[in-house]
Structure 1
Amino acid sequence: MTDELLERAEALDEADPLAPLRDRFLAPDDFDVVSYLDGNSLGRPLRATEQRMTEFVREQWAGRLIRGWTDGWLEQPQRLGDRLGALALGAAAGQTIVADSTTVLLYKLVRAAVDARPGRRTIVLDTDNFPTDRYVCEAVAAERGLELAWIETDPSAGIRPEQVAAAVGEDTALVLFSHVAYRSGWLADVAEINRIAHAAGALTLWDLCHSAGSVEVELDAWGVDLAVGCSYKYLNGGPGAPAFAYVRSGLQGELRQPIWGWMGHRASFEMGPGHEPAPGIRAMLSGTPPILAMLPLEVNLDLLAEAGIAAVRRKSLLLTEYVIDVADRWLAPLGVEVVSPRDPARRGGHVTLRRPGFEALLEPLWEGGVIPDYRRPDGLRIGPAPLSTGFAEVHRGLSILRDLLEKQP
């Protein structure tokens, strides 16, 4: 019998302008993965990353040694941040910096934001945001004697402007939400939520971990105050790759982040008494930048520059639409529900499927070379990465999932 879904996948791959880029990713001959569907958790490495890191170790690290700091390493966090801002974030130069982990940067930005709004005692956030975001806000609230105003969000959807309008007020210092909800893939209306928060006098902080490198972001145009995101998902920066922070230029002289280190000083090598923050976005730095760990991100930005974020988003929508179509055709009769937005204007880069008992399928899926992601309760996230995932690969993975479901009692 003809597999219409396979024929469609093959036709989509044939017409995909980004298809040739898949060969740029490293996949050894003995690689046991037949369908990698977790690009929204950890991106694949590029072949050029392996080469670039080897060259760096041999030539710059071994050859230049400590002289590398004056060869450009010191400027790397800002230089890479500016490039990331231009290619993926819609941010003009001087507002984005690469440093630390997402958690550390969240802490810096939350603390700096609430301290910049003295007299206001409330942080507004939602109950289904990623745990780190919630935990950091809880910690800062405990430190500064603040209160948290929780918005109940549907795990199958995400934060909506009318919910924010009902929660903010003259006591609100900061609102913090994710651009793309980590469970459902819900794409928030950033511009409208910013407008509502600003009308109340609050600052806004957006988590871009599940959107950077997958959907189009316009931080400057949307009026975002602060943002943070990781680089190891769609940006293919590797396990534990450094994160990035965005601070709107008009706020940089007003905010003071709480972790005062020598790299955020106005003159790091003076080694003088007292901390004097560096001008601009460099004040967000604390310790020595992770130069080696930034290399994979730099390589991926080369690829993103070649592809263009608009083309990446177009393919992402086609991939997630294909996932939903396959789920409707094959998996819905087996008790699987699509719990991500069907409206492409509200859908990020992944699709969450829900069915009781999915957790028990993780081991056999992995054994069969299919790697999705699981989030409790009962959510299987399908996260095809537009630069490295093909439609036939999605078909292979979901067909194995279907076969396993059919064998379940």
Structure 2
Amino acid sequence: MDLEAKAATLDAADPLARWRSEFLIADDIAYLDGNSLGALPKVTPERLQHAIQQEWGQDLISSWNTADWIRLPQTIGAKIAPLIGAAAHEVIAADSVSVNLFKLISAALKMRPGRKVVLSEPGNFPTDLYMVQGLKGQGLAEQRLAERDAIEDALDENVALLMLTHVHYKSGAMFDMAQLTAKAHEAGALVLWDLSHSAGAVPVDLNAANADFAVGCGYKYLNGGPGAPAFAFVAERHHSAVEQPLSGWMGHAKPFAFTDDYAPAPGVNRLLCGTPPILAMRALECGVELMARIGMEALVAKSRALSEFTREAMAQHVPELECIAPEDPAARGSQLSFRHAHAYELCQALIARKITGDFRAPDVLRVGFAPAYVRFADCARLVSELRDILDSGEWQKPEYAERGAVT
């Protein structure tokens, strides 16, 4: 059976095939970049129109109460919670990943007086490291980096916080969350997990792993739209101890008392800062609800099937590209990454053929598998078109070498 025929057979038997119709995505596009920006759920424009025309346009300020705008961070956080193995009252939707990292790194350092080291790995997503460096500039933190096979040995009495991205943004390699969390706790350190490339695509069980803190974004597998609000998790056992530095009025125990002195709200609510972006929250709510309807078990199963199909097909038909993602699907995220000296040009040539992946410097072609809408036919098309691009030399067009800001 040839590649396209095998893909057609798998698509015909796919229990998630019907969910693609819930997204506004053209049939002729093979969209393999949902790990960077998720597709638009069809319900989102309608929900936003209602929020604009009725809640804002007609009901105006009363919607903070009648439409429960004021509780959207908690409401959406509670809907995200089951997707990441957390309790509803442990998750809040707010701000960006970067801002939430700053809050929780700062809080962790304050909870471990006498310790200033934040341990991570070189090559972690830049914003995670930049946030530590910003705190270092204020004299509040020290950064320590260790290769992933040396992280456990780098944990000592000076480490306040172990901060890692659960699924590596470039390689797709996935950490053993439970094991590393336990090792960090043995050393007296807290742990902060970045779930930006995990939430909505791979199994995550924060409470089973005894995690302390986590952050994640809403615009990748949760399909909340470009720049969607992020989320933050704080384990219940830390709710009374967490003191975050951005003591904005929405994180106050009684924000509408308008007192001069700050008093933190109970629980995870104290992670709030400014007024929530209601329209962006409404869009995120649509994506989260859709993922919840599909269910994490089905999403994970489809993700692994897509990535295995693609990995095997690439190895057979396009061996020039070196797969740098772990071979075991249970040890990687919902993506595959391939190294090639001309990965950028190959990525641009694929985009010209309506196959959207992305490039990560210096030499990685990355493709993501958003299981709610990616088809096996999309993956077969990636492989066959990539083979043709290499054989024809199309990647050598001068315009493909002109590097843009994103890919």
TM-score of the two chains, using structure 1 as the length reference = 0.94
Instruction: Look up the match of 2:298.
Output: 311
What residue identity is the alignment partner of 1:24? E
SS at match of 1:148: strand
Q: Per-residue CA shift, 1:21-43, capped at 9, x if unaligned?
A: 00111136xx8x62111110000
> Offset at 1:121?
2.1
What residue identity is the alignment partner of 2:128? D
> Offset at 1:145?
4.0
Instruction: Look up the match of 1:139.
Output: 134
2:329 and 2:345 map into 1 onto residues whose CA distance is 30
Q: Does 1:22 align with 2:7?
A: no
> Offset at 1:368?
1.4
2:315 and 2:296 map into 1 onto residues whose CA distance is 28
Q: Contact conserved, 1:164 with 1:196, CA < 8 A, in 2? A: no
What residue identity is the alignment partner of 2:294? A
What residue identity is the alignment partner of 1:78? Q
- Following superposition of structure 1 onto structure 2, how do residues 373-392 of structure 1 map, counting pairs within 5 Å? 373-392=358-377
Q: Contact conserved, 2:223 with 2:288, CA < 8 A, in 1? A: no
RMSD, aligned CA = 1.3
Q: Does 1:340 align with 2:322?
A: no
Instruction: Look up the match of 2:353.
Output: 368
Instruction: Look up the match of 2:388.
Output: 403
Q: Contact conserved, 2:161 with 2:192, CA < 8 A, in 1? A: yes
Given the alignment, which residue of 227, 235, 239 partners 1:240? Answer: 227
What residue identity is the alignment partner of 2:40? P
Aligned residues: 393
Q: Per-residue CA shift, 1:171-219, capped at 9, x if unaligned?
A: 1100100110111111110000000000011000000000000011101
2:264 and 2:250 map into 1 onto residues whose CA distance is 9
1:294 and 1:91 map into 2 onto residues whose CA distance is 20
Q: Does 1:77 align with 2:73?
A: yes
Q: Contact conserved, 1:100 with 1:242, CA < 8 A, in 2? A: yes
Q: Contact conserved, 2:79 with 2:289, CA < 8 A, in 1? A: no
> Offset at 1:402?
1.6
> Offset at 1:93?
1.9
> Offset at 1:305?
2.2
> Offset at 1:142?
2.2
> Offset at 1:164?
2.3
What residue identity is the alignment partner of 2:6? R
1:381 and 1:364 map into 2 onto residues whose CA distance is 14
Instruction: Look up the match of 1:107.
Output: 102
Q: Does 1:350 align with 2:335?
A: yes
What residue identity is the alignment partner of 2:157? E
Q: Per-residue CA shift, 1:348-397, capped at 9, x if unaligned?
A: 10000111111122332222111101001210001021001111012122
1:93 and 1:233 map into 2 onto residues whose CA distance is 21
1:111 and 1:42 map into 2 onto residues whose CA distance is 28
SS at match of 1:222: coil
Instruction: Look up the match of 2:399.
Output: none
Instruction: Look up the match of 1:6.
Output: 4
Unpaired runs of 5+ in structure 2? Answer: 397-407
What residue identity is the alignment partner of 1:174? L
SS at match of 1:221: coil
TM-score of the two chains, using structure 2 as the length reference = 0.94
1:241 and 1:315 map into 2 onto residues whose CA distance is 25
Q: Contact conserved, 1:34 with 1:397, CA < 8 A, in 2? A: no
Q: Per-residue CA shift, 1:285-340, capped at 9, x if unaligned?
A: 000011110122211222222211011000000011011011111110xx211110
- Following superposition of structure 1 onto structure 2, how do residues 90-129 of structure 1 map, counting pairs within 5 Å? 90-129=85-124
Q: Percent identity?
A: 41
What residue identity is the alignment partner of 1:205? L
Q: Contact conserved, 1:164 with 1:197, CA < 8 A, in 2? A: no
Given the alignment, which residue of 280, 294, 315 partners 1:328? Answer: 315
SS at match of 2:208: helix
> Offset at 1:345?
1.9
- Following superposition of structure 1 onto structure 2, how do residues 235-274 of structure 1 map, counting pairs within 5 Å? 235-274=222-261
Instruction: Look up the match of 1:175.
Output: 162
1:148 and 1:201 map into 2 onto residues whose CA distance is 17
Return structure 1 stretches of 4+ with deviation > 4 angstroms: none
Unpaired runs of 5+ in structure 1? Answer: 153-158
